[in-house]
């Protein structure tokens, strides 16, 4: 029998190679099962290929799943296999991160990668600018920006051209401005009436007004391109970048000098905002997982369990393309920056899923567009909230 | 043609009248003739018509159907909303921006490419050394794939990129602009790239048209003492009329549906702010990325309707003389 597997490690590199190995190893353990892989670029996979395939009578057996609002919709349409009873052990090993792949207490997928977002920075530039320690509050971050400008470097690179890297700044402001309860309620009920969502936009606007970003950031791509924001950080053209845990791998792909990058790269959590009701130890994060189609054979669940087994997870960690989710796989993480993320993830009081994933594509896209308008100087904090409400009814 | 012959003989057998020159059998033979003609027409065009219906008409019907639903592409569409998606589209300032950008590209292409193409075609129509090299150079951009051209120009125009460096080295550093980042400038940058790419197509069409202008006419005009410019003005250009109109038609339809170049050259943020969105990119951004499948289909239908009406009007008023008789077979 054959399992079809769709994943997003479409670029040649350690991630793609590793999945090929995992499929081969699984077939060696289960000689009756053959796995057909299709690696599809994320946008195509998530926006066109998967929705169309799930509408048809012949979806792939096992496919990438990001959890959150999208998964709620997929479960409502009865696309996904309920695997709650078969994966109790695995969920125990993964811990609270597995909740993102749950809908109404039932498990419909499992993560293989999970991590929180933070600021990636150039330690050499910080030393040169006389910044003693990574900032822990926005006041300190503003000071750092001033010092970095004094030595003529771009303080923060932002890939606003791709929208979401800019929107992530707003997400973090919301995380600082809103209480955890408000955030949870927003994710489940799509209610954004709390004034903290407007405050997030005001805080962001105030931050943008200090001009911490590179010029013409509205056309800078996020990643996978030497001129992108992470190209700027990787090649010593900017001192900081806000990005998720996968950034370690993507920085490597655009760096002209990988050894130099490894020597100067550091990471610190998103600073707190003084006097905000949000929990300063709450973090934004997200991950990647896989789900089985409703009518996929039982072997699909076996394969899913194999992907999140400790030894496969450890091998995944060693590829350096992301952080593993299973207890015991952490030894595979060798990179110091990734180690600090692991530590911060363990210390986080609450992990909020990326807001555009949590709220679903429709509200998420409207939110990102409205945040980008603030970056471009023709949006307002209030318009972000009204755009989200309008999209929910579209 | 064996099948046609078989039909002919079988049709001959079917008619009861014996063969030979007697008139009574004529009408039935004529009937058999028309029937046979229809069999041939249906038999030979059926595959093409079937493909057309399957892959053009049926999907168009589905697009209209889906556009009447509030549908996120998860599960079958159930929530009928009538024309709400259409009213929402015309209320969205970004969609209105997209319409404006399409208009800029339609008229910009016609007004800029037309004169340039005509001038170059008239020049290239004269005999001079290296003419074939020139023709090749002019045509190269058109042969390149649109995505390739888009990525190439994106790299050239990036901040501190090749274009900026060239301007600096020419002492024109003050002209350096954020070509693709300035929200007011980006659509004009894209128009310039489109002009660079498609002017070659217009030139090739016009050159083909020029080869149909009889030499006798221009020679006669020259003998009558007309200057080169007068010959172009009063003989050549009027005779190019049909070619120019066909090029205008193709250019207009292409500009309305423009997608690839905008998509790869301009980043998502600039598109979603309306600065570089066109109807087609707006459709994909909303239909696929925001998951508004019903709404996206409504935008697709609007795009189709605008293109269709524009094509009809153009044919009715500008192409009428050129295609007269081609369709109806009537001679006026």
A378 with B273: Cβ contact below 8 A: yes
The verdict on pTM exceeding 0.75 is yes
Rg, Å, chain A Cα set: 21
Is the model's pLDDT at A84 over the cut of 80? Answer: yes
B interface test, pick of A208, A215, A216 with most B CB neighbours within 10 Å: A216
Q: Give the model's confidence band at A341: pLDDT under 50 very low, under 70 low, under 90 confident, else very high.
A: very high
pLDDT tens string B26-84: 567 788 888 899 999 999 999 999 999 999 999 999 999 999 999 998 888 999 999 99
In DSSP terms, A241 is beta-bridged to A120, A157
Angle at A337 between CA A334 and CA A339, to 5 degrees: 50
Is the model's pLDDT at B326 over the cut of 60? Answer: no
Chain B nearest C-alpha distance from A365 (Å): 5
Nearest to A362 among B159, B270, B290 (CB): B290
Q: Give the model's confidence band at B18: pLDDT under 50 very low, under 70 low, under 90 confident, else very high.
A: very low
Q: What is the 3-state secondary structure (H, E, C) of A251-307?
A: HHHHCCCHHHHHHHEEEEECCECCCCCCCCCEEEEEEEEEEEECCCCHHHHHHHHHH
Chain A nearest C-alpha distance from B296 (Å): 11
pLDDT tens string B106-136: 999 999 999 999 999 998 888 788 888 888 8
User: Which residue of chain A has the CA closest to B161?
Assistant: A227
Is the model's pLDDT at B25 over the cut of 80? Answer: no
pLDDT for position B74: 86
Q: What is the 3-state secondary structure (H, E, C) of B282-295?
A: HHHHHHHHCCCHHH
Q: Give the model's confidence band at B251: pLDDT under 50 very low, under 70 low, under 90 confident, else very high.
A: very high
Q: Minimum mean pLDDT among A53-57, A108-112, A382-386, B274-278: which range? A: A53-57
Pick from A43, A79, A262, A279: nearest CA to A163: A43
A139 vs A188, residue with greater confidence? A139
B86 vs B31, residue with greater confidence? B86
B interface test, pick of A52, A218, A238, A366 with most B CB neighbours within 10 Å: A218
Q: Which two tokens stand for residue A24?
A: 């081969």
Mean pLDDT comparison of A96-105, A151-160, B238-247, highest-scoring range: A151-160
Residues of A in contact with B288 (CB under 8 A): 47-48
- Residue A156 CB neighbour total at 10 angstroms: 25
pLDDT for position B26: 59
pLDDT tens string A141-157: 999 999 999 999 999 99
Element (H, E) at B70: strand B69-70
Cβ contacts below 8 Å, chain A against chain B, sum to: 87
Is the model's pLDDT at B324 over the cut of 80? Answer: no
Residues of B in contact with A54 (CB under 8 A): 74
% residues pLDDT > 70 (chain B): 89
Residues of B in contact with A365 (CB under 8 A): 285, 289-291
């Amino acid at each position: 029998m054959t399992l079809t597997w769709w994943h997003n490690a479409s670029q040649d590199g350690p991630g793609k190679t590793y999945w090929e190995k995992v499929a081969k190893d699984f077939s060696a353990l289960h000689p009756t099962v053959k796995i057909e892989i299709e690696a599809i670029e994320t946008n195509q996979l998530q926006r066109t290929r998967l929705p169309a395939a799930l509408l048809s009578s012949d979806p792939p057996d096992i496919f990438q799943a990001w959890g959150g609002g999208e998964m709620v919709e997929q479960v409502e349409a009865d696309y996904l296999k309920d695997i709650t009873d078969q994966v109790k052990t695995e969920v125990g090993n993964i811990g609270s991160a597995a909740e993102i792949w749950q809908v109404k207490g039932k498990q419909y997928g499992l993560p293989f990668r999970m991590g929180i977002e933070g600021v990636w920075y150039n330690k050499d530039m910080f030393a040169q600018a006389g910044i003693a320690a990574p900032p822990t509050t926005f006041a300190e971050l503003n000071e750092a920006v001033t010092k970095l400008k004094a030595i003529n470097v771009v303080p923060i690179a932002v890939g606003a051209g791709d929208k979401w890297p800019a929107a992530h700044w707003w997400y973090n402001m919301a995380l600082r401005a809103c209480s955890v309860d408000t955030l949870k309620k927003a994710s489940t009920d799509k209610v954004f009436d709390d004034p903290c969502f407007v405050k997030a936009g005001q805080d962001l606007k105030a931050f943008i007004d200090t001009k911490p970003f590179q010029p013409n950031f509205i056309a800078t791509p996020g990643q996978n391109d030497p001129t992108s924001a992470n190209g700027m950080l990787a090649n010593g053209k900017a001192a900081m970048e806000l990005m998720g845990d996968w950034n370690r791998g993507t920085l490597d792909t655009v760096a002209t000098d990988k050894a130099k990058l490894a020597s100067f790269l550091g990471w610190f959590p998103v600073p707190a905002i003084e006097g905000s009701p949000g929990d300063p130890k709450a973090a934004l994060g997200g991950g990647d997982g896989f789900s089985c189609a409703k009518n996929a054979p039982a072997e699909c669940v076996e394969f899913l369990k194999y992907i999140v087994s400790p030894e496969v997870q450890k091998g995944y960690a060693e590829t350096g393309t992301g952080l593993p989710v299973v207890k015991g796989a952490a030894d595979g993480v060798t990179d110091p920056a990734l180690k600090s993320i692991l530590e911060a993830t363990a210390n986080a009081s609450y992990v909020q899923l990326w807001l555009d994933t949590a709220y679903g594509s429709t509200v998420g896209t409207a939110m990102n567009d409205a945040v980008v308008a603030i970056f471009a100087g023709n949006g307002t904090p209030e318009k972000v909230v009204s755009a989200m409400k309008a999209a929910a009814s579209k | 043609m064996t099948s046609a012959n078989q039909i002919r003989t079988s049709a001959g057998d079917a008619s009861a009248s014996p063969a030979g020159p007697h008139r009574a059998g004529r009408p039935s033979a004529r009937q058999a003739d028309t029937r046979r003609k229809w069999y041939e027409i249906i038999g030979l065009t059926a595959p093409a018509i079937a493909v057309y219906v399957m892959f053009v008409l049926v999907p168009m019907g589905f697009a209209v159907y889906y556009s009447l639903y509030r549908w996120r592409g998860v599960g079958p569409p159930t929530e009928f909303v009538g024309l709400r998606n259409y009213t929402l589209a015309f209320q969205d300032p970004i969609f209105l921006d997209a319409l404006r950008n399409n208009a800029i590209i339609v008229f910009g292409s016609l007004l800029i490419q037309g004169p340039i193409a005509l001038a170059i075609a008239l020049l290239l129509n004269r005999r001079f050394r290296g003419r074939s090299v020139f023709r090749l150079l002019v045509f190269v951009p058109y042969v390149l794939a649109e995505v390739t051209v888009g990525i190439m120009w994106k790299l050239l125009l990036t901040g501190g990129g090749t274009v900026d460096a060239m301007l600096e080295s020419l002492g024109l550093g003050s002209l350096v602009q954020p070509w693709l980042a300035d929200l007011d400038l980006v659509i004009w940058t894209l128009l310039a790239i489109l002009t660079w790419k498609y002017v070659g197509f217009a030139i090739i069409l016009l050159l083909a048209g020029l080869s149909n202008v009889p030499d006798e006419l221009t020679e006669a005009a020259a003998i009558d003492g007309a200057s080169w410019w007068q010959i172009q003005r009063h003989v050549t250009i009027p005779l190019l009329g049909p070619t120019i109109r066909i090029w205008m038609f193709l250019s207009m339809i292409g500009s309305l549906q423009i997608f690839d170049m905008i998509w790869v050259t301009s980043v998502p943020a600039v598109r979603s702010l309306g600065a570089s969105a066109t109807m087609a990119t707006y459709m994909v951004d909303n239909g696929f990325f925001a998951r508004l499948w019903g709404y996206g289909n409504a935008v697709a239908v609007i795009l189709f309707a605008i293109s269709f009406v524009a094509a009809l009007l153009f044919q009715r008023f500008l192409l009428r003389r050129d295609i007269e008789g081609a369709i109806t077979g009537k001679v006026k």
